[in-house]
């Protein structure tokens, strides 16, 4: 199991195959996923299987976020090539609502930015948010992203944020 980030309060690491139900049940909370595309239960299982396979190919992937002290599940995050614009990498994150408002999203975003610039040659990392997701937009701004406008993905208008390598 590879760890991509660790601090005194959290660990971002590869999911273990035994954590599939943990991953899938996360998406059952409608408040947590209100700004995410809705998928069927079997599609979340497929996402998890893809994540496990992606670990073999690295450095991109979807990882679990866990409390460092007790391994409680905080959420998940990802780094992947940005499909819409070649050469850019995209980050994303989702947290259990009991962890909202505690600075964890900002810490995760900054960790993904650092990891992305170290592990790839990209000069630009992007993030997309639902237009109504003000909390995530604030996280991105605190993490150094600039909002460049909007972009459409699968017919949905999303905020488009970018941070450049310094």
* Domains detected in the chain: 3-164 (3.40.630.30)
- Give residue 150's pLDDT: 95
Q: What is the pLDDT of residues 4-29, one digit of tens each?
A: 999 999 999 999 999 999 999 998 88
Calculate the alpha carbon distances from 97 to 85, 94, 165 in Å. Answer: 31, 9, 31
Label residue 129 by pLDDT band (50, 70, 90).
very high
- Give residue 17's pLDDT: 94
Q: What is the pLDDT of residues 33-58, one digit of tens each?
A: 878 877 787 889 998 999 999 888 87
- Is the predicted pLDDT of residue 1 greater than 80, yes or no? no
> What pTM was computed for the model?
0.93
- Give residue 154's pLDDT: 84
Average pLDDT over residues 54-70: 92
- Is the predicted pLDDT of residue 151 greater than 90, yes or no? yes
Q: Give the residues across from 61 on adjacent strands.
A: 79
What integer best gives the mean pLDDT of the chain?
A: 93
- Is the predicted pLDDT of residue 74 greater than 80, yes or no? yes
Helix 104-119, helix 134-142: angle, nearest 10: 50
CB 150 within 8 A of CB 131: yes
Instruction: Give the other-Cβ count within 10 Å of 54's Cβ.
Output: 17
CB 164 within 8 A of CB 123: yes
Nearest Cα neighbor of 5 from 56, 79, 57 is 79
Q: Report the b/e string of 98-107 with b at 16+ CB within 10 A.
A: ebeeeebbbb
């Amino acid at each position: 199991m590879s760890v991509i980030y660790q601090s005194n309060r959290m660990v971002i690491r590869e999911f273990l195959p035994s954590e599939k139900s943990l991953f899938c049940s996360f998406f059952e909370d409608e408040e947590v996923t209100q700004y995410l595309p809705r998928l069927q239960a079997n599609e979340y299982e497929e996402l998890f299987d893809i994540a496990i396979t992606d670990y073999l190919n690295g450095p991109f992937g979807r990882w679990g976020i866990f409390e460092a002290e007790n391994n409680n599940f905080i959420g998940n995050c990802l780094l992947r090539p940005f499909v819409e614009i070649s050469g850019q990498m995209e980050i994303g994150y989702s947290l259990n609502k009991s962890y909202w408002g505690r600075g964890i999203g900002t810490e995760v975003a900054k960790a993904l930015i650092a990891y992305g610039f170290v592990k790839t040659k990209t000069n630009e990392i992007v993030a997309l948010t639902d237009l109504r997701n003000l909390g995530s937009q604030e996280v991105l701004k605190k993490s150094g992203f600039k909002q460049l406008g909007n972009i459409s993905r699968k017919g949905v208008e999303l905020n488009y944020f970018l941070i450049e390598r310094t």
